[in-house]
C-alpha cells in the first residue's frame, strides 16, 4: 500500500490545495475531512437541529450516512459538495465539530479511506484519526495570509467577499478549533511544522513530497 500522510492546520493554511496535489504526486487518494464535518453541519442545520440540542442531534446522527469519494460529498445520497462551501457553513461548522459524539461517529468513515494509503487533511489527523501515520505535517501561515487566500478564492469563484470579515471568521474558527476540549487543533509531537507564508503551492508540495520519499 502507499504511504499514510497527514496534514493538520488552521483554516486557510493551504491544506486542501497542497493535499490534493501531494496525493496525486504520491499516487494515493486524498481525503478532506473538513468536508465531512461541513456536510454534517450543513445537514443538521438544514434539518433545524442546532448544536446545543444533543438529544435530537444524537438521534439524527444515527440515521445520517456520509459518503466521500473523488471530491464529492453526499449525505444520505444527496450531493452536498457545493452547498458545504458557503460563508454560512464556515460560521457554523466548528460548533458541530466540537461535539464528541459527532467526532466519534465520523471516525470509522475517515479510517476506512486509508486502506491503500492516503493524504488526509484536517485538524486531528495526527493526534486522533491516524496516530500511526508515516508522515505528519502541521501546515500553517499567518492569519492575514490565510484570510487573504480564502478571500481571493471566493472572488475568483465570482462570489462576494469582504477581507475584514473573512479575517474575523478565520480567527474565530481557529479559536474554536484550538480551544475545544475534544480533539483540539494542535501540533502533534511527531509532526513537522511547515509555515507556508510567502511560499507558492508548488514549493510546498515539492518540499513535502521530498519529505515523504526520504
Ligand atoms: O478549509 P478550511 O481550513 O477552512 O476548513 P475545513 O478543513 O473545511 O474544516 C472546516 C471545519 O471543520 C474546521 O474549522 C473544524 O471546525 C472542523 N474540522 C475538524 O474539527 N476536524 C477535522 N479533522 C477537520 C475539520
Segments forming the whole domain that contains residue 43: 4-213
* Predicted local confidence at residue 211, as pLDDT: 95
For a ligand 1 pocket test, name from 66, 123, 127, 130 the mutation site with the most ligand atoms within 8 angstroms of its C-beta: 123
**Do 167 and 32 form a contact (C-beta atoms < 8 A)?**
no
* Predicted local confidence at residue 192, as pLDDT: 96
| Pocket flag, ligand 1, residue 33 (CB < 6 Å) | yes
Rounded to the nearest whole angstrom, what is the distance from the C-alpha of residue 124 to the centroid of ligand 1? Answer: 9
Q: Where are the beta strands (DSSP E) in 61-212?
A: 66-69, 72-75, 78-79, 118-122, 135-140, 192-195
| Pocket flag, ligand 1, residue 84 (CB < 6 Å) | no
Closest Cα partner for 72 from 56, 59, 83?
83
Res 176 pLDDT > 90: yes
* Predicted local confidence at residue 70, as pLDDT: 87
Take atom 12 of ligand 1 and give the residue whose Cα is closest.
Answer: 34
* Predicted local confidence at residue 56, as pLDDT: 97
Closest Cα partner for 118 from 16, 3, 214?
3
Domain count, the chain: 1
Residues 61-90 pLDDT 10s: 999 999 999 899 999 999 999 999 998 999
Residues 14-53 pLDDT 10s: 899 999 999 999 999 999 999 999 999 999 999 999 999 9
| Pocket flag, ligand 1, residue 154 (CB < 6 Å) | no
Q: What is the CATH number of the domain that holds 161?
A: 3.40.50.300
Q: How far apart are CA 36 and CA 88, in angstroms?
A: 16
| Pocket flag, ligand 1, residue 61 (CB < 6 Å) | no
CA 153 to chain centre: 16
Q: Which atom of ligand 1 is nearest to the CA of 10?
A: 3
Res 1 pLDDT > 90: no
Residues 96-153 pLDDT 10s: 999 999 999 999 999 999 999 999 999 999 999 999 999 999 999 999 999 999 999 9
Amino acid at each position: 500500500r502507499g504511504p499514510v500522510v497527514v496534514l493538520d492546520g488552521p483554516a486557510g493554511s493551504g491544506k486542501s490545495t497542497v493535499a490534493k496535489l501531494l496525493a496525486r504526486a504520491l499516487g494515493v487518494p486524498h481525503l478532506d475531512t473538513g468536508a465531512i464535518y461541513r456536510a454534517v453541519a450543513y445537514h443538521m442545520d438544514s434539518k433545524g437541529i442546532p448544536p446545543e440540542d444533543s438529544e435530537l442531534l444524537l438521534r439524527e446522527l444515527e440515521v445520517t450516512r456520509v459518503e466521500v469519494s473523488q471530491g464529492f460529498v453526499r449525505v444520505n445520497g444527496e450531493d452536498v459538495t457545493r452547498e458545504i462551501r458557503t460563508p454560512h457553513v464556515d460560521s457554523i461548522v466548528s460548533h458541530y465539530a466540537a461535539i464528541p459524539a459527532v467526532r466519534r461517529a465520523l471516525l470509522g468513515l475517515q479510517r476506512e479511506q486509508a486502506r491503500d494509503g492516503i493524504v488526509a487533511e484536517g485538524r486531528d489527523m495526527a493526534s486522533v484519526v491516524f496516530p500511526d501515520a508515516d508522515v505528519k505535517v502541521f501546515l500553517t501561515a499567518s492569519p492575514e495570509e490565510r484570510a487573504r487566500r480564502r478571500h481571493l478564492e471566493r472572488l475568483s469563484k465570482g462570489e462576494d467577499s469582504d477581507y475584514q470579515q473573512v479575517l474575523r471568521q478565520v480567527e474565530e474558527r481557529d479559536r474554536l478549533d484550538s480551544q475545544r476540549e475534544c480533539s483540539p487543533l494542535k501540533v502533534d509531537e511527531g509532526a513537522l511544522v511547515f509555515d507556508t507564508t510567502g511560499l507558492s503551492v508548488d514549493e510546498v508540495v515539492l518540499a513535502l513530497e521530498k519529505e515523504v520519499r526520504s
